[in-house]
Amino acid sequence: MKMLINVPETVVADALRGMAAAHPELTVDVENRVVVRRDAPVAGKVGLVSGGGSGHEPLHAGFVGPGMLSAACPGEVFTSPVPDQMVRAAAAVDSGAGVLFVVKNYTGDVLNFEMAAELAEDEGIQVAQVVVDDDVAVSDSTFTAGRRGTGATLFVEKIAGAAADEGAPLDRVVSVARQVNGSSRSFGVALSAVTTPAKGSPTFDLPAGELELGIGIHGEPGRERRPMMTSGEIADFAVDAVLEDLRPTGPVLALVNGMGATPLLELYGFNAEVHRVLGERGVPVARTLVGNYVTSLDMAGCSVTLCQIDEELLRLWDAPVETPALRWGR
Residue 275 annotated in active site: no
Scored b (16 or more CB within 10 A) or e, 220-234 reads bbbeeeeeebebeeb
| CA nearest to 53, candidates 3, 83, 22, 12 | 12
| CA nearest to 217, candidates 285, 115, 305 | 305
> Which residue is catalytic, options 23, 60, 218, 275?
218
Rg (CA), the chain: 19
326, HSE (Cβ side, Cα atoms, 13 Å): 32
Burial grade of 115 (CB within 10 A; 0-12, 13-18, 19 or more):
middle
The end-to-end CA distance of the chain, in Å, is: 41
164 three-class SS: helix
CA 253/CA 249 separation, integer angstroms: 13
What residues form DSSP beta bridges with 225? Answer: 212
> Which residue is catalytic, options 23, 56, 60, 275?
56
240 three-class SS: helix
Catalytic positions, written as ranges: 56, 218
